[in-house]
A and B are shown apart, each in its own frame.
Chain A
Amino acid sequence: MELTTSIHRIRRFLQHPERLWGVALLLALIVLVVIPVAYIIANSLVFDASGPRLVRGAQVGHWTLFYWVRVLFGSMARSVFYEPALHSLLISMGMTVISLTLGALLAWVVVRTDLPWKRFFSMVLIIPYIVPSWTVALAWIMVFKSKRFGGTPGLLNYLFGADVPEWIAYGYLPIIIALGIHYIPYTFLLMRGVLANIDSRLEESAEILGAGRFEVLRRITFPLALPALGSAFILTFSKGLGEFATQAFLGLPVRFYTLSTRVYSALNNRLFGEGYVLSLVLILITALMVWFDQLMLGTRKAFVTIEGKGTRKKAVALRLWRLPMTLLLLMFVTIFVFGPLLLLGWETLMRIDGRYGLDNLTLHYWIGKSVHALAEGQPGIFRNDGILRAIKNSVLLAGTTALFSGIIGILLGYAVVRNRGRFFSRLLENLSFVPYMIPGIAFGGIFLTMFARSWGPLPALYGTFSLLALTCIIKHLPYSSSSGISAMHQIDPSLEEAGMIHGIGWGARFVRIIMPLTKSGIFSAILLTFITTMRVLDVVVLLVTPKTTLMTSIIFRYQSQEFTQHAYAIMLVIVFIVLACQTIMNRFGGKVEL
């Protein structure tokens, strides 16, 4: 009897393909997400190859707390951990304050006032978030670099001859500004959504009771938006902690470290134990922030009025402020959105770096043949086999990642949504979110360690394209799964059930009903993934080899080798590709990924 009932239960379970899918995906996620993290934790607790050199009698592979003690309490702790941690936290704080203040302000102006050219501003203001995060950083370097730090003079140095102080050229200030600008669109989009969803009848009720415009803003709108504002703060802050490229470009030249650049230099110098400990600390901080956010959102949900119809489109009249506000916005857009791109473009046209005259202009770095005197004989990027291969690799990597992420997203969405209420549905959703909490540089480090060796039948993947693709796909999982889940939520279960009633099998239902109905959502998710992967550096920087080099990793290398024009030209190729993708996506009504 016992046996037959369990056989029945198994048979009935097998009748549901969505459950089988759920369990299969769960196993895959455990292998690709849980095990790597556990592996890193384990590896931070054993001696690596540097062990015998640092500790007398240490044997590689033996258990030890040495690395944890060294990083957190040792004589090096200050420079290895505490200073970088302080830098990371202050930078995140600064850039969050900048981006949130400006982003929220812009959102309010665009959503709620009678500002002209709203569509134009909405589109343009998103650009800094679409282009790679270190665009502003590179432009900043070009303007403020100085002979004193070695190398060629920047624009200011050239024009005025005076040396720019180091605190302006590198370190806190430029990193905070560059990241702040990059994240303005992020907070802008978050807050735009929130403001658009606040039921305007709530504000109108206050107006009817005699409240002035400013009072309504202060006593109704702001308190209603506050929980979302808090959440945006935490999310932006945690993203800032994980940023790598900007901090590398604007910090490493003057030995200004943050946690993420520390992780990079530790792992790059094969100080694995130290690198793992720093990675784990970084992951822990980020995870705590995200957890805190969930906690706060959970308790505050009670008064978030996201349900509102928001029927009113009566805009707040700016009156006298309208013209100055418009000019201010135009100025902002010119300086911070188009300015950096124009500067990058100019740099690529300079025959000799640092001479800003018209006589110095050339297309050599785009299409020129090898000239021994320039950039050690490197030909222009469109004649340069190494760079062309990197372009091909990047496009291939972005394409592969996007395609697989799209497929995995819809399968995950299907498994999660159709199994709602079962234990593994929740688990699946939460597990797919884990990579979000792991900063890109640490994530790359984890996969580097994990797949540098072979696992049973699986060969060592280091140096292969597959490893790059796998890492990018898994790192992208949180976005894939959330877009898959929201796409599946759009489909009422009854649409599939109507097929079941007609005796249509699972495969046919998936192909004939689910896929056609989710294709627009999946298409824009695929394009988004393509854009994101096109500009990724932190996740892949530790994993690329000369054979699998990417556009972003070449920029990173060339920037430090002072092949500036090449680096900036490749940068503009990336910008061109991602903006083109974004334009296509706007056509199809897609959104920007947050």
Chain B
Amino acid sequence: MSAIVLKNLCKNFGEVKAVHCLDLQIKDGDFLTLLGPSGCGKTTTLRCLSGLEEPDTGEIFIGERCVFSSTRGINILPGQRNLGLVFQNYALWPHMKVAQNISFGLRKAKLQKSVVEQKMAQILKTVGLEGLADRYPHELSGGQQQRVAVARMVITEPAIFLFDEPLSNLDAKLRMRLRSELKRLHLDLGATTVYVTHDQIEAMALSDQIVVMREGVIQQAGSPYEVYHFPANLFVADFMGNPETNLLAGEIRRREGSLAVSLNDYPGAVIPLTNPEKLREGLKVVVNIRPEDIEISRTADTGALRCKVYTTQPMGSEVIIHLRAAENKPGIVVKNPEEHCLGLGPEMTVAVHFKRGNLLDAGSGKLIASFGF
């Protein structure tokens, strides 16, 4: 087990700045996820850490040991960094059986055959592949191949686990199940884990810490709760959440003596401000409100924002409702429990109530205040 430190890491591919001056510290035993859209530099960062890619500048420490330093000319080979990696496509060697794939990494250790067999049996049991040791990878299902890849990584007992989108090639149901197994594996073995994904739900479900990246630069690092509820900027707010969050343009105005937000497209909306001291009149803002933080009701209390239902999409336990105040105006997405929405249909008028959200500076995109929390 080891902590990881990345200092001022840069990696360019030609003109493209894949990773730009990245600083990151990962606590010993933590599960950290690098999250972002494709091309944001998350995989490059992981590959630099593993040693498969060579950064242009910067330093990398694993535990006390410096494994890469551009100024001191250190570049430890991947095999000597004491880490394991599960690739997106699993990278199982197609010409080797499951047992050979898993034990390949042990051949350097020169262990006795019985020890290897014992380890193998144990690993196969851990990942639930008993009886499949003599199969070739192509004779396995996607989920089983993924388990082989995990077993191959785990058997050498590395201090660090690296995962490069390990679940993205699987169907939705299997992904859920293996997600839970990966989390349990981390709990049981306690190795420091760096996990790369573009799937925000996966990131939230697994991580102690999420690092959201964009164009090679870290946008926000924090716990899943922080990243989801207090996005540091517009990009993070927009990237997190499914269905996508509501970003409504507005302005701080003085109303009946105190400051309040007035929305450009929804003049009737009322957004209470709990701590208005940091705000000043006339500031242009973007209001970020998660769909589940909006409540709708058919009994209209006076003064509430009123919208027409555009469509309803029942999802089982919840219903996603698209609302519109008028033609040509951006809609509002609402996610409410099913029992709340029975009998709701298009063209019905509902009252809308914003429970909580954030205010982001329309100019810089940065988080400036929150309300309702």
A12 at the A/B interface (Cβ < 8 Å)?
A: yes
- In the complex, the answer to whether B52 meets A500 with C-beta atoms within 8 Å is yes
| Bound: A377/B62 CA distance, A | 83
| Contacting residue for A502 out of B14, B52, B75, B104, CB 8 A | B104
Q: Give chain B residues whose Cβ lies under 8 Å from the Cβ of A501.
A: 50, 52, 78-79, 83-85, 105
- In the complex, the answer to whether A15 meets B91 with C-beta atoms within 8 Å is no
- In the complex, the answer to whether A504 meets B73 with C-beta atoms within 8 Å is no
| Bound: A502/B107 CA distance, A | 9
- In the complex, the answer to whether A513 meets B93 with C-beta atoms within 8 Å is yes
- In the complex, the answer to whether B73 meets A11 with C-beta atoms within 8 Å is yes
**Closest CB in chain B relative to A41 CB, distance in Å:** 35
| Contacting residue for B89 out of A4, A492, A502, CB 8 A | A492
Q: Give chain A residues whose Cβ lies under 8 Å from the Cβ of B93.
A: 495, 498, 513, 517
- In the complex, the answer to whether A12 meets B73 with C-beta atoms within 8 Å is yes
Interface residues of chain B: helix, strand, loop or mixed (majority): loop
Q: A503-B79, A503-B80, A517-B95 are in contact. Are A497 and B73 (CB under 8 A)?
A: no
| Bound: A12/B70 CA distance, A | 10
| Bound: A501/B70 CA distance, A | 21
Q: Give chain A residues whose Cβ lies under 8 Å from the Cβ of B152.
A: 498
Most B Cβ at <10 Å: residue of A7, A8, A500, A501 = A501
Q: A15-B77, A503-B79 are in contact. Are A498 and B85 (CB under 8 A)?
A: yes
Q: A498-B85, A504-B79 are in contact. Are A517 and B73 (CB under 8 A)?
A: no
**Closest CB in chain A relative to B191 CB, distance in Å:** 14
- In the complex, the answer to whether B73 meets A502 with C-beta atoms within 8 Å is no
| Contacting residue for A494 out of B83, B91, B105, CB 8 A | B91
B87 at the A/B interface (Cβ < 8 Å)?
A: yes
B54 at the A/B interface (Cβ < 8 Å)?
A: yes
B94 at the A/B interface (Cβ < 8 Å)?
A: yes
CB-nearest residue of chain B relative to A502? B105
Q: Tell me the residues in window 389-427 of chain A with beta carbons closer than 8 Å to chain B beta carbons.
A: 421
- In the complex, the answer to whether A494 meets B87 with C-beta atoms within 8 Å is yes
| Contacting residue for B87 out of A5, A7, A498, A504, CB 8 A | A498
- In the complex, the answer to whether A494 meets B54 with C-beta atoms within 8 Å is no
- In the complex, the answer to whether B87 meets A517 with C-beta atoms within 8 Å is no
B311 at the A/B interface (Cβ < 8 Å)?
A: no
| Bound: A15/B85 CA distance, A | 21
A150 at the A/B interface (Cβ < 8 Å)?
A: no
Interface size in chain A (residues, C-beta < 8 A): 22
A457 at the A/B interface (Cβ < 8 Å)?
A: no
- In the complex, the answer to whether A497 meets B52 with C-beta atoms within 8 Å is yes
B108 at the A/B interface (Cβ < 8 Å)?
A: yes
A298 at the A/B interface (Cβ < 8 Å)?
A: no
CB-nearest residue of chain A relative to B83? A501
Q: Give chain B residues whose Cβ lies under 8 Å from the Cβ of A12.
A: 54, 73, 75
CB-nearest residue of chain A relative to B86? A498
Q: Give chain A residues whose Cβ lies under 8 Å from the Cβ of B95.
A: 516-517
Q: Tell me the residues in window 87-110 of chain B with beta carbons closer than 8 Å to chain A beta carbons.
A: 87-89, 91-95, 104-105, 108
B373 at the A/B interface (Cβ < 8 Å)?
A: no
Q: Tell me the residues in window 147-184 of chain B with beta carbons closer than 8 Å to chain A beta carbons.
A: 152, 156
- In the complex, the answer to whether A502 meets B91 with C-beta atoms within 8 Å is no
- In the complex, the answer to whether B73 meets A7 with C-beta atoms within 8 Å is yes
Q: Tell me the residues in window 2-19 of chain A with beta carbons closer than 8 Å to chain B beta carbons.
A: 4-5, 7-8, 11-12, 15
| Bound: A4/B108 CA distance, A | 33
Q: Give chain B residues whose Cβ lies under 8 Å from the Cβ of A15.
A: 75, 77
| Bound: A500/B89 CA distance, A | 16
**Closest CB in chain A relative to B270 CB, distance in Å:** 53
- In the complex, the answer to whether B75 meets A500 with C-beta atoms within 8 Å is no
- In the complex, the answer to whether B73 meets A498 with C-beta atoms within 8 Å is no
**Closest CB in chain B relative to A502 CB, distance in Å:** 4
- In the complex, the answer to whether B91 meets A492 with C-beta atoms within 8 Å is yes
| Contacting residue for A4 out of B52, B73, B87, CB 8 A | B73
**Closest CB in chain A relative to B149 CB, distance in Å:** 8
Q: Tell me the residues in window 476-535 of chain A with beta carbons closer than 8 Å to chain B beta carbons.
A: 492, 494-495, 497-504, 513, 516-517
- In the complex, the answer to whether A500 meets B91 with C-beta atoms within 8 Å is no
Q: Give chain A residues whose Cβ lies under 8 Å from the Cβ of B83.
A: 501
Contact with B along A1-40 (1 / 0, CB 8 A): 0001101100110010000000000000000000000000
CB-nearest residue of chain B relative to A495? B91
Most A Cβ at <10 Å: residue of B50, B78, B156 = B78
| Contacting residue for A421 out of B13, B52, B156, CB 8 A | B13
Q: Give chain B residues whose Cβ lies under 8 Å from the Cβ of A5.
A: 73
| Bound: A516/B93 CA distance, A | 10
CB-nearest residue of chain B relative to A4? B73
CB-nearest residue of chain B relative to A496? B91
Q: Give chain A residues whose Cβ lies under 8 Å from the Cβ of B92.
A: 498
Q: Tell me the residues in window 108-163 of chain B with beta carbons closer than 8 Å to chain A beta carbons.
A: 108, 152, 156
| Bound: A513/B91 CA distance, A | 11
- In the complex, the answer to whether A494 meets B89 with C-beta atoms within 8 Å is yes
CB-nearest residue of chain B relative to A504? B79
| Bound: A5/B71 CA distance, A | 7
**Closest CB in chain B relative to A140 CB, distance in Å:** 49
| Bound: A498/B84 CA distance, A | 9
| Bound: A378/B308 CA distance, A | 103
CB-nearest residue of chain A relative to B105? A502
Q: Give chain A residues whose Cβ lies under 8 Å from the Cβ of B13.
A: 421
| Bound: A12/B13 CA distance, A | 17
**Closest CB in chain B relative to A18 CB, distance in Å:** 13
| Bound: A503/B83 CA distance, A | 10
Q: Give chain A residues whose Cβ lies under 8 Å from the Cβ of B51.
A: 500
- In the complex, the answer to whether B54 meets A497 with C-beta atoms within 8 Å is no
- In the complex, the answer to whether B91 meets A497 with C-beta atoms within 8 Å is yes
| Bound: A421/B16 CA distance, A | 13
- In the complex, the answer to whether A517 meets B50 with C-beta atoms within 8 Å is no
| Bound: A504/B100 CA distance, A | 14
- In the complex, the answer to whether B73 meets A500 with C-beta atoms within 8 Å is no
| Bound: A492/B89 CA distance, A | 9
Contact with A along B7-42 (1 / 0, CB 8 A): 000000110000000000000000000000000000
CB-nearest residue of chain B relative to A7? B73
Q: Give chain B residues whose Cβ lies under 8 Å from the Cβ of A497.
A: 52, 78, 85, 87, 91
Q: Give chain A residues whose Cβ lies under 8 Å from the Cβ of B79.
A: 500-504
| Bound: A103/B87 CA distance, A | 45
**Closest CB in chain A relative to B301 CB, distance in Å:** 55
Sample 29 A-B pairs with CB under 8 A, ordered by A number.
A4-B73, A7-B73, A8-B70, A12-B75, A15-B75, A421-B13, A421-B14, A492-B91, A494-B89, A495-B91, A495-B93, A495-B94, A497-B52, A497-B78, A497-B85, A497-B87, A497-B91, A498-B85, A498-B87, A498-B92, A498-B93, A500-B51, A501-B84, A502-B105, A502-B108, A502-B156, A503-B80, A504-B104, A516-B95
Shortest beta-carbon contacts, A-B, top 4 = A503-B79, A8-B73, A494-B91, A502-B105
